[in-house]
A = this chain, B = another copy of it.
Amino acid sequence: MVELPGYDPEAGGRGDGTRQQLIDAALGLFAVQGYDGVTTRAITRAAGVNLAAINYHFGGKQQLYRAVIEDIVARIRGRVWPAADALEAALAAAGGDRRAVAEAVAGFLRLVLFTFIGEAARRPIAGLVLREYAMPSDAFPIIYEGAVERMHRALAAIVAAASGRPAEAPEVILEAHAILGQCLGFAVARVVVCRRLGWDDYTPERTEQVAAAVARTVLAALDLPPPGPARG
């Protein structure tokens, strides 16, 4: 983590290691404490680099934040876009087979949930995204166009496929967002969920429980067959 000074941790320029270390450290801190709650000194200390490195590599705290956003959007995009494409292809291929639709939906929801609350390493990503929801900065369009909108359209396609209504209809979009909210709710209100259930934190097993509950609720809401005990 804290690389020894003087030597390049990776091939290429000497400073590439410092740059990435700053982004990684800043991601974790921004996600937990917010932009204003984090000082440049805290970031550089966590990254194990000199205080002046932020301004040298990024030009300032604000530009570092933007770099962090671009970094996580690239990561989300690599995960969500292929899944969204696959989902829409599966919906088209399913035709009227509601059981096939249900399975595609459940799989997509599982991926969204695990992206949000699954691995602890991925949690800062959700934290930053939710923070941009609550207090959009000028980096919000990057997130929206790079990741959120694609996921949202996929969810609208789900509702459209299950109900036969057009995916662009406002009520379909609203219902799609209601479904997204079910996933979001477990990310944004983690503290509440854990407190209610006596959990200290999410674990992979508990995330499976959450995913199962969300799948039950969503599939029932869409009048799709519930997930069978075993694959059909």
Contacts and interface: CB of A to CB of B under 8 A. Distances in A.
Given A127-B134, A185-B178, A185-B185, A148 B33 contact: no
B135 A196 contact: no
Contacts of A34: 34, 36-37, 135
A19 interface: no
A188 interface: yes
A179 B217 contact: yes
Closest 10 CB pairs of A and B: A181-B185, A174-B213, A36-B36, A221-B221, A178-B182, A36-B37, A220-B221, A181-B182, A178-B217, A217-B221
Interface in A116-143: 127, 130-131, 133-136, 140
A173 interface: yes
A134 B188 contact: yes
Given A34-B36, A37-B36, A178 B133 contact: no
A77 interface: no
A230 interface: no
A177 interface: yes
Main secondary structure of the interface of A (DSSP, over half): helix
Contacts of A193: 174, 177
A100 interface: no
Contact of A192 (B33, B127, B148, B220): B148
A177 B196 contact: yes
B188 A130 contact: yes
A180 interface: yes
Contacts of A134: 127, 130-131, 134, 188
Contacts of A140: 191
Interface in A32-86: 32-37
A34 B136 CA distance: 12
B197 A170 contact: yes
Interface string A190-230: 11110111000000000001101110111011110000000
